[in-house]
């Protein structure tokens, strides 16, 4: 009987862990940001080596129609004037394709540099994971509140073109191209608190 219960437990829990990635060599404080050549949703080229002398936030989201991601974007928008005035460059990465991301950026009036990454090359480079287990945990961490608020904030509807189990991440890079903070989400919808970003930008 105990063996049967154990088998059933493994049957229902293994999918959470088998889909979870456990990436090695994640970025950490003190690492140098690799030189990246990014193409924005509007086709502009953005090279990270050209951001020397500026503070930068690189934030990884899921996909355009994700209410949690929209909620996060509006958190940043609330402080955008202060962040921009004090020299912060925001680069926001999505799994969504160029067409969907361009539509979202235009209709929602997002002023950040928005990067489509449907092949997930940047996600792999930064070891930004997918995890069903962390997605499940997210259901018990203000998921409903963020989902409801983010859904209401949409000005239009967009197709889902990304993974439901993608976990977000945020990277603060200083003026010398060194990673000050590498924050990998503990659950779906988890990002580096905006207050911490504002505090870091204003400290100098």
What would the DSSP string read from start to end of 143-180?
A: HHHHHHHHHHH-SS-----S-TTB--EEEEE-TTSBEE
What is the span of the domain harbouring residue 160? 23-202
Residue 104 lies in a domain: yes
**Comparing 159 with 22, which gets the higher pLDDT?**
159
| Number of separate domains in the chain | 1
**Sequence-ordered strand ranges (E) for 26-84:** 37-39, 45-47, 55-60
pLDDT at position 3 is 53
Tell me whether residue 128 is in a domain.
Answer: yes
* Residue whose C-alpha is closest to residue 110's, from 162, 158, 180, 142: 158
Mean per-residue pLDDT, 64-71: 97
Q: What share of the chain is helix, strand, coil (3-state, %, to 5)?
A: 40, 20, 40
Using CA atoms, how far apart are residues 89 and 99, in angstroms rounded to an integer?
A: 23
Give percent of the chain with pLDDT exceeding 70. Answer: 88
Structure tokens at 173: 């890079």
Residue 3 lies in a domain: no
**CATH code at 124?**
3.40.30.10
Assess if residue 2 is contained within a domain. no
Model pTM score: 0.88
**In a domain? residue 145:** yes
DSSP class per residue in 13-24: HHHHHHS----S
As a whole number, mean pLDDT of residues 161-177 equals: 97
Q: Is residue 180 part of a domain?
A: yes
Average pLDDT, integer, range 44-72 = 96
User: Which pairs with CB-CB distance under 8 Å and at least 24 residues apart come from 44-50?
Assistant: 44/113, 46/91, 46/113, 46/115, 48/173, 48/177, 49/177
For residue range 15-29, what is the model confidence (pLDDT) as tens digits? 444 444 445 679 999
Rounded distance, CA 57 to CA 173, Å?
6
> How close are the terminal C-alpha atoms of the chain, in Å?
63
**Of the ranges 14-23, 109-118, 164-173, 191-200, which one carries the lowest mean pLDDT score?**
14-23
pLDDT over 70 at 56, yes or no: yes
Average pLDDT over residues 64-74: 97
Mean per-residue pLDDT for 112-125? 97
Q: What is the residue-averaged pLDDT of the chain?
A: 90
Residue 10 is assigned to a structural domain of this protein: no
């Amino acid at each position: 009987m105990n063996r049967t219960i154990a088998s059933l437990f493994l049957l229902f829990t293994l999918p959470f862990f088998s889909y979870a990635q456990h990436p090695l060599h994640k970025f950490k404080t003190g690492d140098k940001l690799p030189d990246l050549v990014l193409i924005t949703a509007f086709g502009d080229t953005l090279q990270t080596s050209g951001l020397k002398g500026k503070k930068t936030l690189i934030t990884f989201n899921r996909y355009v129609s994700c209410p949690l991601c929209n909620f996060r974007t509006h958190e940043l928008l609330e402080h955008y004037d202060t962040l921009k005035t004090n020299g912060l460059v925001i680069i926001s990465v999505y799994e969504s394709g160029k067409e969907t991301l361009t539509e979202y950026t235009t209709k929602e009036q997002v002023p950040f540099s928005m990067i489509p990454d449907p092949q997930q090359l940047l996600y792999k480079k930064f070891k930004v994971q997918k995890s069903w287990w962390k997605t499940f945990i997210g259901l018990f961490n203000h998921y409903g509140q963020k989902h409801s608020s983010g859904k209401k904030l949409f000005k239009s509807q967009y197709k889902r073109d990304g993974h439901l189990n993608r976990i977000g991440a945020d990277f603060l890079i200083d003026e010398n191209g060194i990673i000050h903070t590498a924050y990998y989400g503990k659950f779906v919808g988890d990002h580096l608190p905006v207050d911490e970003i504002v505090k870091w930008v204003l400290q100098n």
